[in-house]
Amino acid sequence: MTTILQSILLWLLYLSSFYAFIPSLISRFFGFRVFRRGKSDTQFALTFDDGPDPHYTPRLLDLLRQYQAKATFFVVGEHAASHPELIQRIHDEGHLIGIHNYIHKTNWLMRPRTVRDQIQRTGQIIHEVTGVKTCYYRPPWGIMNLFDFFSKKERKIVLWSSMFEDWRSRVGAQRLTERMLKELRGGEVMLLHDRGTTLGADAHAPEQMLQALEVVLQEAERLGLQSVRVDTLMGGITVSESQNKNQPQTTLKLWKRLVVALWLGWEKLFHWVYHLRTASPEDPMLHFRSRVYHGARMEMSDGHVIQNGDPVIELHFDNQKLFELGVTSRSSMHLAIRMIRTMEQQLPDLARMVALEPELRSAKAIYGVSMINRGPEKFGFTIQDLPPGPFSAASKVYLKLLLSVIHPAGTKRLKQRTEQLVPKMIAMPLDVLLERYGQHTTQVAATVEESRDGSLLIEKELLPEQN
């Protein structure tokens, strides 16, 4: 019995070696079916695995933009699905996005079909967000299996020529910097990580990676070395070519063009009659006006209350901007992400204006109406139903009509999500606005008296929820 068991274990060892260990060994040392190093004397590639991460990835992108460096991000599908706005930002800022499986699990422990499904699922998420299909793939821990050797030729497997154990906090920023500088040369493909939540990694390790990377980018600039995307190092297509191929082309029907013309004309008249102001004049999206609140008592989750007769600020979206975003978006998710990013960019401007002007600070609330039941909580908003009545009914008809015009899925979307398209009010306390979005105006915010009974209500018309 012992002999039989030993024989079975021996055969399992042979099979696992044949399935994954030997293929990984061959690819790692001989470069068979993989890309590991470029031939350029002046360009190198920074690659980042395991993200995106809501804390570290934005800081990494800021750092890359500061030094005009391009990089490649091999993303984990489940993280990409949770943070599509980061995937969109990575793409918009000119970086390459590759696949790192849907979950961070070695190919050694998965069947070929499971690996294929993981790759396809992650690729679909990337495509839905960016409109671009990716063919670049890096298996977790660089472990390939036998079937990776016989995968479709259009899938480009990318490994690395140098790694630095940046996933371990004990390495330390100084030693990590020394290791990276030692390998800084043309053609190098550097392996780094912008997330520390995978097995064997330290959650705060990306912090020291960011410190080391800044020094490396400074030295690369001094040496005349340029950080580029992996496809550039390989001789692939450029960003502009990729974007041009995937630019959505939208032709509106006659009735939609008429609705848009009336809609935009009404907005101009509304702005003129009510003297609307703009939070970000250089990129008009958020407009507002001061007025007195007339409506039912509104109580938010944190205890702030808005009552009939309170001074308020009414916030509106720019119709022209909404229309442009809608007709040029590739999907519901793409439209949602673009609107979320616009809000993130312009809410600080609104906070600055509120902090600067006593009249705005004296208002008890800023308010508006939304057709979307999910999503605004990420900004710090509280959602509340509109009281039934003529205003609620009219808002529902009006916003549904506009959604059918500007939404990428049009009337098809309305039929699928009718139960969710109900006008609602969205609220945020004023002190939360200043705390969350006033970081760009610290000096101004410091002069503002605390307003513990203030609140913010913001209109987020037509923002599709993320599925």
CB 293 within 8 A of CB 312: yes
The number of beta carbons lying within 10 Å of the beta carbon of residue 330 is 18
Phi and psi of 312, rounded to 5°? -140, 170
String of b and e for 147-184 (b: at least 16 CB within 10 Å)? bbeebeeebbbbbbbbbbebbebebebeebbebbeeeb
Structure tokens belonging to residue 107: 């190919």
Helices 254-274 and 319-328 cross at an angle (nearest 10°) of 150
Active site residue 385: no
Q: How far is CA 93 from CA 6, 60, 190, 239, in A?
A: 55, 12, 20, 10
Q: Which residue in the list 79, 193, 304, 316 is annotated as catalytic?
A: 193
CB 89 within 8 A of CB 97: no
CB 224 within 8 A of CB 42: yes
Active site residue 49: yes
CB 56 within 8 A of CB 207: yes
Q: For 370, which DSSP code?
A: B
Residue numbers annotated as active site: 49, 193
